Amino acid sequence: MAWIFTYDSLMWDFPYPFQTRQKALLEEYHRAFNHFSTEHYGSPEAPSPGLGLETAGDCTGIAYLVPEDEEEEVLEALAKRHGNRFVMREGTIIVGGQSAEDATFFLSDRTHPDYIGKIVPQEVVKIAKNGRGPLGTGVDFILLMSEKLTELGIMDLAVDAATSLLKWHGFGNQQTHKTHF
């Protein structure tokens, strides 16, 4: 059996076989808008900010326990999904606030041309307002992430800061989403 740690849309949309899913903590990494996304909510002509992992801090996400006989196939599919913007890593996660388990996760590749490093929320919002892809805009992506993280009971500084700025600029419904500031 293998644990897969997820921190983006895979937290609620994991299309692979798994036995269980639990909230988990990946230590020494944090979620950040750190690359241009040119698929889904962005395009090569109008990229959106994409989420990845940066070193230092902690990241709360969802871990999936994949059956041993499915592990290789799932990891290959995830590697293909993440493309060359990310590198596969192994580390230790805390599952359900209790047990330390080995897990696979995907770290942003700092050598990829779309890597932009950790940027301030104002720059994230500027990029998001110009981003557009087949599933919507960069603004749509950030607001969706914020909504889903709230539903999962996960607080995230990068997403919350960008969401707060977007709402200040008049995007999103102030009535239905609570930020964690």
pLDDT recorded at residue 44:
96
What pLDDT score was predicted for residue 173?
61
* Burial status of residue 166 (CB atoms within 10 A of its CB: 0-12, 13-18, 19 or more): buried
Assign residue 72 a region (left: φ > 0; alpha: ψ between -120 and 50; beta: otherwise): alpha
Q: pLDDT (tens digit, 0 to 9) for every residue of the chain, 181 residues total? A: 899 999 999 999 999 999 999 999 999 999 999 999 999 999 999 999 999 999 999 999 999 999 999 999 999 999 999 999 999 999 999 998 888 899 999 999 999 999 999 899 999 999 999 999 999 999 999 999 999 999 999 999 999 999 999 999 898 864 443 333 2
Q: Give residue 97's pLDDT.
A: 87
| CB of 107 closer than 8 Å to CB of 53 | yes
Reading the block at residue 159, the tokens are: 């997403």
φ/ψ of 59, rounded to 5, equals -135, 125
d(CA 33, CA 117): 8
Q: Decide: 31 and 53 in contact? Cβ < 8 Å.
A: yes
**Amino acid at site 139:** V
Domains and CATH numbers, the chain: 2-168 (3.10.490.10)
Helix H or strand E encompassing 164 = helix 157-168
Instruction: Please say whether the beta carbons of 97 and 109 come within 8 A.
Output: no
State how far the Cα of 105 lies from the Cα of 96, in Å rounded to an integer: 17
Buried/exposed 17-44: b ≥16 CB within 10 Å, e otherwise: ebeebbbbbbeebbbbbbbbbbbebbbe
